Amino acid sequence: MNSERGRNLLAAAAGLTALVAIVSFVAVVVLAASGRTATDYQGYNLSRPWFDGIAWDWFLDMFNQPSVKPQEVGTFQAFPDNSVPRTGREAFIPPTAMMDGRLQRDVQPLNPQPATPESLVEGRVLFETYCGPCHGLNGEGGTPVVLKGMPAPPVQPLLGFLSEPHLYNKILYGGPIMPAYGYQTTQAERWHMVNYMKSAKFGKGGSP
């Protein structure tokens, strides 16, 4: 008797809930349809913004900035001023990426910095700062750090064989043991070091 009454109550409650849901859905649809005015591309009502009904000036500032709007015609090649970064940054070349059967890091990127005397001086100072402690100022290894167990090889005999992009990426990414110097150095500084390592002045000492 009791359980039957409970079941009846439960059924009534479920019916009522379904009814309320249907009525509110219909109400929302009817209200939405009747209130249709100018909307933006996402369907927001522009004359009565959705949160407090007041059309604040700044409400659409984020939308109304220089940018290519969805579906806008004729903007694909002509981006509005200041809407797209144009100086950019160097492309990320994953250390193991292949290109034409070779490691891409042995082929790219290409050195944009001519090996001017200034570049070689700059490169020498940077090499002696960042690389010298392990590889030696003249690239012949045997530094105190190596004697303590860091297996940094003499790089002097390798520099003739290693490509400029390889050396650049070696600084940028480091190696299995060698630390990366990408964060400490700028793009230009890395090319200065490459120029110095590839020059006849490398490891000759004397005043820079």
Contact residues: ligand HEC, CB under 6 A: 130-131, 133-135, 150-153, 155, 158, 162, 167, 170-171, 175-179, 181, 193
Between 130 and 191, name the residue whose CB sits nearer to ligand HEC: 130
Between 93 and 134, name the residue whose CB sits nearer to ligand HEC: 134
> What pairing do the DSSP bridges indicate for beta strands 98-99 and 102-103?
antiparallel
Between 115 and 155, name the residue whose CB sits nearer to ligand HEC: 155
- In whole angstroms, the minimum distance from the beta carbon of 70 to ligand HEC comes to 46
| Backbone Cα Rg of the chain | 34
> Among residues 175, 173, 195, which one has the least CA distance to residue 126?
195
Give Cα separations from 200 to 22, 53, 195 (angstroms).
84, 74, 10
- In whole angstroms, the minimum distance from the beta carbon of 171 to ligand HEC comes to 4
Retrieve residue 80's tokens: 């509005």
SS3 content of the chain, % helix, strand, coil (to 5): 40, 5, 55
- In whole angstroms, the minimum distance from the beta carbon of 111 to ligand HEC comes to 14
C-beta nearest to ligand HEC: residue:
175
Q: What is the DSSP string of 14-49?
A: HHHHHHHHHHHHHHHHHHHHHT---B-TT--BSSS-
Give Cα separations from 178 to 29, 107, 115, 153, 175 (angstroms).
65, 21, 26, 10, 5
Between 120 and 171, name the residue whose CB sits nearer to ligand HEC: 171
- In whole angstroms, the minimum distance from the beta carbon of 207 to ligand HEC comes to 21
- In whole angstroms, the minimum distance from the beta carbon of 101 to ligand HEC comes to 19
Between 15 and 134, name the residue whose CB sits nearer to ligand HEC: 134
Amino acid at 121: V
